[in-house]
């Protein structure tokens, strides 16, 4: 049985990332703190068994459609498609066996920006009831600027919805530390997408002003996480899409997170219009992961750049239907540094 293969990339600063061909996964990120001590700040497992049995999309490439599709239904050119309903009444993260649950072909590369690994996967027509043969590539590059550049590409032979993302959980104090609520977050987002009780966008694009989702200045993640507001109550904490300020198709600065205890800082850049902010509200700490550590509730945060959730059913949202001859490209950059 294929047990998968891990790949390790290092840069001149001693930063190290680990990648896994199952799910084209970012499985580890070791970066220094303010005292020069290295720790792994990303959730993951030591072997395939953990990813198969307990994975909550830890570090995975997620698709074909990351996020939720209401009722698991959509139409393209008058043809209706019914996907798996695997999150309440809705479709989530590609279905029963999404891109996070398959082996990808891997190729190690040397580029001008740094060492890289390219993962590729062919999703056949009809897989998880999506139309079209979709060829997907995820390239991870580690630079000497302590950046992880993730480039996701896709082409198709039939019109199909495509929304890929990386689903890494971070704790800048070190994966396995009990909480991220004291991390300070700043988002380059003036608007968000309100959701219903199933976390499907209502279709409204609302200002963050006066809501718990106003992170336009640095604020502790835990400050308003339990506020009496639909944006936090429906997801038992933060689990919503925000709209990244920018024109789209150009890579812009979307988020900054600082952990004052370690001094670590994470900056996120994206060319996508949405940023899903999730605070691990449904983690239970009921299994052991890397190095025997557990991941309790709200011990990790996700910042997932991608398209607006439920876009196929909201024609006024930016279009995500990929057509033959077009190239899909999602670029995500995770940049690590020390906050002085």
So which residues are the catalytic ones? 167, 304
- How far apart, in whole angstroms, are the C-alpha atoms of residue 69 and residue 76? 14
Question: How far apart, in Å, are the Cα atoms of 84 and each of 56, 95, 98, 122, 201?
Answer: 18, 6, 11, 20, 19
- What is the 3 state secondary structure string of 279-326? CCCCCCCCCCCHHHCCCCCCCCEEEEEECCCCHHHCCCCCCCEECCCC
A 10 A CB-CB count for 327 gives 9
Please provide the size of the chain in residues: 340
Task: Tally the C-alpha atoms within 13 A of residue 254's C-alpha that lie toward its C-beta.
Answer: 29
Region of residue 155 (phi > 0: left; psi between -120 and 50: alpha; otherwise: beta): beta
* Cα→Cα distances 208→113, 205, 214, Å: 36, 10, 5
Angstrom distances, CA of residue 107 to CA of 47, 144, 250, 334? 20, 20, 27, 21
């Amino acid at each position: 049985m294929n047990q998968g293969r891990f790949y390790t990339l290092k840069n001149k600063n001693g930063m190290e990332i680990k990648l896994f061909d199952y799910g084209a996964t970012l499985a580890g990120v070791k970066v220094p703190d303010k005292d020069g001590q290295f720790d792994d700040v990303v959730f993951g497992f030591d072997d395939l068994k953990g990813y198969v049995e307990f994975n909550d999309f830890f570090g995975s490439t997620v698709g074909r459609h990351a996020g939720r599709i209401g009722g698991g239904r959509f139409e393209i050119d008058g043809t209706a498609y019914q996907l798996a309903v695997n999150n309440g009444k809705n479709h989530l993260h590609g279905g029963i066996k999404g891109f996070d649950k398959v082996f990808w072909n891997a190729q190690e590369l040397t580029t001008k920006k740094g060492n890289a690994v390219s993962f590729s996967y062919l999703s056949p027509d009809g897989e998880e009831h999506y139309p079209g043969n979709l060829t997907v590539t995820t390239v991870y590059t580690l630079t000497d600027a302590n950046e992880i550049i993730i480039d996701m590409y896709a082409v198709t032979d039939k019109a199909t919805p495509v929304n890929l993302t990386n689903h890494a959980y971070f704790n800048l104090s070190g994966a396995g530390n009990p909480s991220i609520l004291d991390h300070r977050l700043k988002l380059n987002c003036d608007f968000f997408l309100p959701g219903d009780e199933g976390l499907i966008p209502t279709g409204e694009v609302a200002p963050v002003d006066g809501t718990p989702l106003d992170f336009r200045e640095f604020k502790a993640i835990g400050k308003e996480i339990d506020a009496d507001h639909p944006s936090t109550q429906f997801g038992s904490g933060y689990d919503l899409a925000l709209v990244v300020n920018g024109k789209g198709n150009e890579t812009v600065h979307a988020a900054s997170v600082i952990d004052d205890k370690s001094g670590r800082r994470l900056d996120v850049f994206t060319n996508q219009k949405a940023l899903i902010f999730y605070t691990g509200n449904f983690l239970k700490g009921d299994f052991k992961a890397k190095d025997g550590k557990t991941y309790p509730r709200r011990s990790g945060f996700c910042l997932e750049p991608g398209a607006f959730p439920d876009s196929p059913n909201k024609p006024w949202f930016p279009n995500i239907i990929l057509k033959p001859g077009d190239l899909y490209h999602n670029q995500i950059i995770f940049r690590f540094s020390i906050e002085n």
